[in-house]
Amino acid sequence: MAARRRGRAARPDTALFVDLGFVLALVAVGAFAAWPIYQTWYLVVTVAGAVVIAAGVVLLGRLRRWSWGLISVCTAAAYLAFGVPLAIPSAFASRADLVLGYRDLVVATVGDWKKLVTVDAPVGHFQTLLVPLLVTMLVCTTAAFSIVFGRARSYGVLVPIMLLPTAFAIVFGTTSNGHPLEIGGFQVAAPTHTVVGVLALGAAGGFLVWRGQHARTLALREAAAASGIRRPAGASVGSARRIAGAVAVALVGLAVAVPLSSTALEPSQRHVLRSAVDPTAQLSQYTSPLTTYRAAFSADPDTYNAAVLSYSGDARQLGRLRVATMSFYNGQQYTVLPSDSDRSSAFAHLPQLTSASHGSGLASLDVTIGKGFDAALGSGVWMPTVDGLKAVGFGGADVNALTDGFYYNTTLQAGAELHKLSPGDSYTLLATPQAATAPLGSLTPPQGAVPATADIPDSLTQWVQSQNLGTGGQALAGLIQRLRDRGFLSHSLVSPGTGTASDPTWLRETGGKFQQSLAGESMDRIGELFSDLLRQQQKVGADAPAASLVAGVGDDEQFAVASALIAESLGFPARVVLGFTLAGSETDAGAIPACDGGVCRGKNLTAWVEVQGADQKWVPFTTTPQSKLPLAKQPVTTSVPKLPTQVQQHVATVQPPPEANPTGGNRQNNDRTPKDAAGPAAWLPALRIGGTILLVLLILAAPLASLVIVKAARRRERRATPSSAGRIASGWDELVDTAVDLGLPAPGVRTRVEAAALYSAASRAADSTTLRTLAHGADDAVFGAFDPTPDEADRFWAQLDEQRSRLAAAFPRWKRLLALVSLRSFRTGSRIGGGER
């Protein structure tokens, strides 16, 4: 018999392998569910590393008989040691980044949970965003392995613990439901999420069914061994039948519930944390780059000849470098973002751009920032990119900082770098080669487009009508060509001089005669431009030679804005783009010269306009005015102030530092703020904040207050017990519960008298004689021949309340407060051996 028992003990426990299989299965389901968030195979390294660390620490702890606390400390140490290679692959860029990676690991453990939902998915292995997944997997598997290898009876706890990785993937997941799937006439709206739910819940349900059946089998086997009664021969067959029936019922339920629920739920009803967080960087606090356009043509300092950037690669296939795209005109200037910016017009982290590798059929361009970058482009936050961008890879010592600061807007096809670009910084752009665009004259406005009327100068409308060219693409092309032919290029309000061979200026290179030109792009400035054109046309007639109609003065700042407003007035969506034309691409004869020799200088900075046709594609065209024909004789020109040096460009505001929080989005709006904020409205923010804090405190305190109320109700119910004997017995239970909540041991198998001696010894303030008397009184009430009177029960409770107070008085105040909300008396109970009532 002993040999058979030893043989059974030596057999491997089937439940152990089932528990381990369940844990690993739920790990796989959680990783599968998290794939849409990351979509990088480094996720496998992160998950596998978490499982290996958890298993190693727990097994070592079991061999050395470590406590839970020591296992937790060792797990945290292993996490700090291996977290960087498992979750921050970017730290291997350099030795300095590897050292900083451990600092980032600690910071990301706390802060990257919010950051994970502020970055557009898929996030890849961007920065430290794999850290939340590593923490979730490591904590859950460590807890699960501790329960499994500890052979704990509470196997049911494994289910909620191992469902947490799947819950993490769902809560932090994407809002997309994927393409619907047809199954037997039913439409499964979210097939991926459905599969995840079926696998997770099916594994959990199957595990609990098998575990319950296994526990029943073990209990019957032990009972048979103890009693000598053998189980019926068909018992195992019955167990298998019950398990198969449970599985069949579950499969039928899933087969019916999944299609019906998926058909009933709309895909738009999926809401996750990402739905409520705006992961955009609001850049409207930065000055619009078009307002500083003329700084690139300055001779003092010489930004005209300074190298803004250099490039190499497939320049001919890419055509242009886009510095900034401005789509919103507010009557004062064209801006990158509107005042009421939303997600469609804002910039965001796009890890898929910074983590993508070279692809077939893509054009490549290597860009290096030059010394004239800041002077020519003002804030320096706008990063030159290309249309059709597919990937960007930064180089140099600041590769991680530059990657962290890169934001992109796919709608505008424009990028921003909030980690200030410095001379020598470099990056590589991968993009789709640019195809030939449709001629401007072949375009038609998008369906449903309405010609703009707001922020359109009256003189512009009158000039467009006076040309009698109609509407549509042909009219737009004709109007833009006439605007350029009747304008004159001038980059300055004051004469830049004639220039020298060593220091050429824009005036010397254009070969024209200097004409004063005001900066700005407001409605007044654009309105004056068209007023000059109208007056000259009325003076000489619309059919006069082209040289007699030249009257408008300005540069790309004014003429690009004017051209965009013309397009808007005809119903074409338009936007202004600031950038460079690369050498080798097709350029207009009258345009700003393209970059030469792989270098873009200040003199090559230009602005062009893009309009959208009915096919939703954006078509660019040049708007630079001509510089060969001078202004017509005695034109009515824009008035120039007597003190031109006092003219200031609009929105010359102080630029916020590049270190400003890119994901804030909470811009201060001081417009129309009343100076006198007195009155009840001034207290609203304070009341709102105070009320929020109070609400949070109430929510946190609600469970504790509930415990106090439940204990008071329990004491009142015991005191109101109908029989006197029951009241006395319940009173003793109340005393025992008080002692247990204070941290004293439960009576267990001790008699009441023994428990009274134990408590009087633990509390010097308690009266041992009275406690012993109370214990004897409770025994007499329960086991005595006569029931006590109500007066005796009242005296018992009075003495009891006094002893409860004296018992608690021996403990410090903090422990008495903890006793009020302790759950120990609910877990241990107050019944003692031989004294149950």
Same domain, yes or no, for 235 and 382? no
3 in a domain, yes or no?
Answer: no
Q: What per-residue confidence (pLDDT) applies to 736?
A: 86
From residue 354, give the alpha-carbon distance in Å to each of 90, 132, 504, 625.
Answer: 11, 20, 40, 38
Which of the four pLDDT bands, split at 50, 70 and 90, describes residue 356? low
Alpha helices in 720-811 (DSSP H): 724-741, 752-762, 768-783, 790-809
Number of H helices, E strands in the chain: 26, 20
Domain span including residue 157: 11-273
**Complete edge-to-edge strand list for the sheet that includes strand 320-326:** 320-326, 574-581, 605-612, 618-622
Please check whether residue 679 lies inside any domain of the structure.
Answer: no
pLDDT in tens, 588-616: 778 899 999 899 999 999 999 999 999 88
Stretch (H or E) spanning 69 = helix 68-87
pTM here?
0.58
184: Cβ contacts below 8 Å, ≥ 6 apart = 259
Residues 432 and 563 in one domain: yes
Provide the CB-side half-sphere exposure for 27 (13 A, CA): 29
Q: Average pLDDT in the 39-44 region?
A: 87
Q: CA–CA separation, 145 vs 19, rounded Å?
A: 9
Which conformational region is residue 22 in: left (phi greater than 0), alpha (psi within -120 to 50 degrees), or beta? alpha
**Does 476 reside within a domain?**
yes
503 and 588 housed in the same domain: yes
Whether 444 and 613 have beta carbons less than 8 Å apart is answered as yes
Question: 571-588 burial string, b = 16+ CB within 10 Å, else e?
Answer: bbbbbbbbbbbbbeeebe
User: Per residue in 740-798, pLDDT tens?
Assistant: 888 888 887 788 888 888 887 777 667 778 888 888 888 888 887 778 888 888 888 88
User: Last residue of a domain, which of 273, 299, 324?
Assistant: 273
Q: Is the pLDDT of residue 101 over 50?
A: yes
Strands (E), 467-542: 487-489
Same domain, 631 and 744: no
Q: Where residue 129 falls among pLDDT bands split at 50, 70, 90?
A: confident
Give a yes or no: residue 682 inside a domain.
no
Query: How far is residue 14 from each of residues 8, 19, 169, 223, measured CA to CA in Å?
Result: 12, 9, 31, 19
Q: Are 498 and 508 in contact (CB under 8 A)?
A: yes
Q: Answer whether residue 557 shows pLDDT above 90.
A: yes
**Is residue 41 domain-shared with residue 120, that is, in the same domain?**
yes
Task: Tell whether 460 and 535 lie within a shared domain.
Answer: yes
Cα separation, 442 vs 716, in Å, equals 88
Q: How deeply is 721 buried, as exposed, middle or buried, from its count of CB atoms within 10 A (0-12, 13-18, 19+)?
A: middle
Structure tokens at 491: 């980059």
Distances (CA, A) of 360 to 265, 321, 364, 430, 432: 40, 21, 11, 10, 10
Residues 264 and 307 occupy one common structural domain? no
Same domain flag for 260 and 335 = no
pLDDT top residue among 834 and 800: 800
CB 446 within 8 A of CB 370: no
Same domain, 466 and 496: yes
**Which residue from 386, 366, 391 is spatially nearest to 599, judged by alpha carbons?**
366
Task: Judge contact between 275 and 119, C-beta under 8 A.
Answer: no
> 466: Cβ–Cβ under 8 A, 6 or more apart, which residues?
534, 537, 542
Kindly tell me if the per-residue pLDDT of 531 is higher than 70: yes
382 pairs with which residues across the strands?
A: 416
User: Is 836 contained in some domain?
Assistant: no
250-254, 413-417, 540-544: which range is least confident on average?
A: 250-254
671 lies in a domain? no
Tell me: do 561 and 704 sit in the same domain: no
Which candidate, 430, 445, 416, 431, places its Cα nearest to that of 325? 416
**For residue 684, is it within any domain?**
no
- Going by C-beta distance under 8 Å and a sequence separation of 6 or more, which residues neighbour residue 392? 353, 354, 385, 406, 415, 427, 428, 429, 430
pLDDT digits (tens, 9 = 90+) for 661-677: 443 333 333 333 344 44
Segment 447-506, tens digit of pLDDT: 877 888 788 999 999 999 999 998 889 999 999 999 999 999 988 887 765 544 444 578
- Asked whether residue 186 is assigned to any structural domain, the reply reads yes
Number of domains in the chain: 3
Residue 691, pLDDT score: 63
